[in-house]
Chain A
Amino acid sequence: MKKILILTLALATSFSFNAQQEAPPQGINYQAVAIDNSGKEIVGIDVTGKPVAEKEIRVRFSIVKSSTSGTLTYRETHLLTTDAYGLFNTVIGQGIPDSSPMAFSEIDWGTGYHFLKVEIDIKGGTDYKDMGTQQLWSVPYALYSKYADAAGNGIESVTDNGDGSLTFTYIDGSTYTTSPLTGLAGAQGPQGEPGPQGPAGANGQMA
């Protein structure tokens, strides 16, 4: 059984966002080099770790939630052709869904951690070899930003409860109710007018 090693040169997870669009591009750039780690003894330097050059390969990406062995959120496959150095580029989110529980655009990036699992078949078939699972980390432009664009600050509505408290309802459905709110003490007022003249006093006694 061949061992296959895939060297990830760059995993550019650019969740590009264009303010003029209603939604950001639904995809994550992915670039890697496919290397066939099965070697062969030959004259001189043996063959080890040879790039899979100019071959048709199939790559399967899975987005799993919470942990490396967590719940499958999304899965798709790509049929790709490597270049002379085994390099291939693709966009996760633009492949063919493969028994995926949901569409890429439906992934709830706002809750929980997400992990990317990569599998590859250098023969171009479906005999995938697991290349590993790694957590997706923050990127300059996040897909989650589309929600911020829609609501401005993630708040869907604010309700006055009539007792001085307010309830904020967020776009993800969660709420927050404040304690009864009171105003601040006002500033000290101006000095009052002088009062009226008092009555005349009683007459005094003679000595």
Chain B
Amino acid sequence: MKHRLLTLAAMALLHVTGQGQMKLTDINLVGGRNFSTFSFKDSEGSKDQTLNYVGLNTFGINFNLTAGRHILRPELSFRQAGAKSDYEGAALSWKMNYLDVNLAYLVNVLNSDRFVVAPGIGLGAGYMLNGEQYIGSTRYSITDTKSLKPFDFGFQGLAHFRANITDNLAVSLEYRFGMGITQIENADNAQKSRNIYQAALLGIGIRLK
């Protein structure tokens, strides 16, 4: 699965860079809600079914490099990840703050100057700035305890909707599904944790001529 995604992303990147000269067309500020959880398997391979999504935040800045219908979009963003669960009546929760560098490839499927509908895929690398875990009322620092790895590499599926308001201004709505392609558990045993998230982002963009 991981290798397929990487291959697909590499092919997309090669494809879009082969489309001729790319041009910086937009600078966008984006932000919204990030509904995050984990995929977790314990040391015996059993999946934790009690993990639930938790609503957190994400925001960032990205740049559209456009060549025809193809958009290559580097992005710098802040993303909160985590999850919630419970065990024997005690609340369990996690929250981590990541600084992400993402690269997305989108294809504009509309032939319109006014609207853009662009599904896409992306790859991202995140660094955990800090994080915390609660077991009941007890707080643990994830960064201090090093219970999770600081780096999180992930894949994204995107659905981007954009309206060009004026020649210089655009607004956008984007849905993202993100999934870790490397597990972040730092345990010595065979536990495996991956970040999973679904985000809805609003954006405002400056169109460059």
Contact = CB atoms under 8 A, between A and B. Distances in A.
A44 B88 contact: no
Given A47-B87, A50-B87, A42 B92 contact: yes
Given A47-B87, A50-B135, 5 more contacts: A42-B48, A42-B85, A44-B140, A45-B147, A53-B136
14 contacts: A36-B88, A40-B87, A41-B43, A41-B191, A43-B48, A43-B51, A43-B191, A43-B193, A44-B94, A46-B187, A50-B87, A50-B135, A50-B136, A85-B137
Interface of B: 38, 40, 42-43, 48, 51, 83, 85, 87-90, 92, 94, 133, 135-137, 140, 142, 145, 147-148, 185, 187, 189, 191, 193
A43 B137 contact: no
Contacts of B85: 42
Contacts of B191: 41, 43
Contact of B42 (A41, A51, A53, A85): A41
Contacts of A47: 87, 90, 92, 135
A147 B187 CA distance: 61
B40 A42 contact: yes
Contacts of A53: 89-90, 136-137
A139 interface: no
Contacts of A44: 94, 133, 140, 142, 145, 147-148, 185, 193
Contacts of B43: 41
Interface residues of A, number: 16
Interface string A26-60: 00000000001000111111110011011100000
B136 A51 contact: yes
Interface in A108-141: none
Contacts of A9: none
A148 interface: no
Nearest to B92: A42
A66 B158 CA distance: 75
A55 B90 CA distance: 11
Chain B CB count within 10 A is highest, among A42, A45, A51, A55, for A42
A199 to B, nearest CB: 117
Contacts of A50: 87-88, 90, 135-136
A84 interface: yes
A43 B87 contact: no
A29 to B, nearest CB: 26
A125 to B, nearest CB: 15
A74 to B, nearest CB: 32
A45 B43 CA distance: 13
A40 B191 CA distance: 12
A55 B40 CA distance: 28
A46 B185 CA distance: 11
Contacts of A84: 137
Nearest to A84: B137
Contacts of B40: 42-43
Contacts of A43: 38, 40, 48, 51, 83, 94, 133, 148, 185, 191, 193
A202 to B, nearest CB: 124
A184 B45 CA distance: 92
A55 B193 CA distance: 31
